[in-house]
Amino acid sequence: MGRIGLALTWHEFVERARDRWVLVISVLFALLAVGTSLYGRGAEADVQMLTGPSLVTLAALFVPITGAVLGHDAIVGERERNTLGLLLSLPASRLEILAAKFTGRFLALALAVGLGLGLAAAVAGADHGMMLFQLYLPTLILGAVFLSLGVCISTFTRRQSTAASLVVALWFLLVFFYDLGLLGLLVLTDGAVATETIATLVFGNPAGLYRLEMMELFAGPELVDDLGMAVELPGPGARAAIWAAWTAIPLAISALILTRRRTQR
C-alpha cells in the first residue's frame, strides 16, 4: 500500500475510532469484560472454567456486531454523503481504496477488542492475564469476518439504513439463530441428519467455530466429546481456510462490485 493508501487507512481508522456507535459498543464490551474478569477473580474461580469461557461468550456477542457496524457504511456511507465519486477519483486504484477502508476499520476494531480484552486481562492479574490475552487474535479474526461481511453489504446497498438493518439481521442470524436453527433441524428430522453434517454446519459458521475453538482452548480437546458430539474439530489448516474464506470472499465480492461500477454516484 502506497502513501495514498496509508493516508486513506489512517483517515478510516481515526474516523471510525470516533464513531459513537463503535465507541458505545466498545465501552460496553470493555465494561462487561472487566466485570466478568473481576467476578472471576472475586470468586477465585478457575480462569479456564469460568472467566475465559464467559469472556468468549461475551466476545462472541459483541465483537461480531462491532465488526459488522464498523463495516456497514464503508461504501454506502460515502455514497450517501456524496463523497464516493470523489473518493474513487483519487489517484489510487479501487482495490487500494477498498483495502484502505478495510484496514483502517480493522485497526479500529483491533483497538476496541484490545481495549476490552486488555482491561479484562489486566484486572485478572498477572497469572491469568496472559491466558485471557490468548483470546485476542482469534477474537480479532472473528471481528474481521464480520467487518468483511459489513463492507460487502455496504457495497451493494443503496442506503445506509438498509445496510445497517442487514448487518444487524446477519448478526442475529449467525450469532443467535444459526445454532437454534440447527437444533430445530435435529428435532424436526428426529435425528435423521447425521451428526457430522450438523457439526460441519456448526464449524461453517464463524461464530460457532469461534466458540468451539475457544472452548477447546480453555477446556482442552476433550471438550467436544464432553459436549456429546461424536466429531472432532477441524485441524488448524482447515480452520485457517474457513476463517480465510469468510474474510476473503465477502471482500472479493466487494472488490468485484466496486471495480465493475462505472459511475460513482
Partner 1 sequence: MSSRFDGDALVRVEGVTKRYGELKAVDQIDLEIRPGEIFALLGPNGAGKTTLIGCITGLISGFEGEIDVAGFDVVDDYRITRRLVGLVPQELNYDAFFNVRQVLEFQAGYFGVRPTRERVDELLDQFSLLEKAEANTRWLSGGMKRRLMICKALMHEPILLFLDEPTAGVDVDLRDELWSYVEDLRARGTTIVLTTHYLEEAEKLADRVGIINQGRLLRVDARETLMDDLGHRHLDVELRDGNAQKWVARLSHLELEAVDAHRIRLHYGGGAECRDRPAVDQLMKHLVDGGEGIEEIEGGRSSLEEIFRTVLQEDTERNGGGER
Q: Which stretch binds partner 1 (CB under 8 A): 25-33, 66-74, 77-85, 165-173?
A: 77-85
Give the nearest distance from C-beta 97 to partner 1 in angstroms: 10
Give the nearest distance from C-beta 1 to partner 1 in angstroms: 12
| Nearest residue to 119 via CA among 106, 108, 131, 129 | 129
**CA angle (28 as vertex; 19, 15 as ends), nearest 5:** 15
Which residues 150-189 are close enough to bind partner 1 by CB under 8 A? none
Residue among 34, 40, 54, 81 that touches partner 1 (CB under 8 A): 81
By the rule CB under 8 A, 111 interacts with partner 1: no
By the rule CB under 8 A, 256 interacts with partner 1: no
Residue 2, Cβ density class (10 Å: 0-12 exposed, 13-18 middle, ≥19 buried):
exposed
Give the 3-state secondary structure of residue 106: helix
Tell me the per-residue interface mask from 83 to 102 with partner 1, x by CB under 8 A, - otherwise: x-xx-xxxxx----------
By the rule CB under 8 A, 11 interacts with partner 1: yes
CA dist 186 → 160, 195, 208, 209, 226 (Å)? 37, 9, 16, 19, 19
By the rule CB under 8 A, 44 interacts with partner 1: no
Give the nearest distance from C-beta 85 to partner 1 in angstroms: 4
By the rule CB under 8 A, 14 interacts with partner 1: yes
Contact 2, 93 (CB under 8 A): no
| Nearest residue to 57 via CA among 109, 106, 108, 120 | 120
By the rule CB under 8 A, 216 interacts with partner 1: no
Residues that bind partner 1 (CB under 8 A): 2-4, 6-8, 10-11, 14-15, 18-19, 81-83, 85-86, 88-92, 262-265
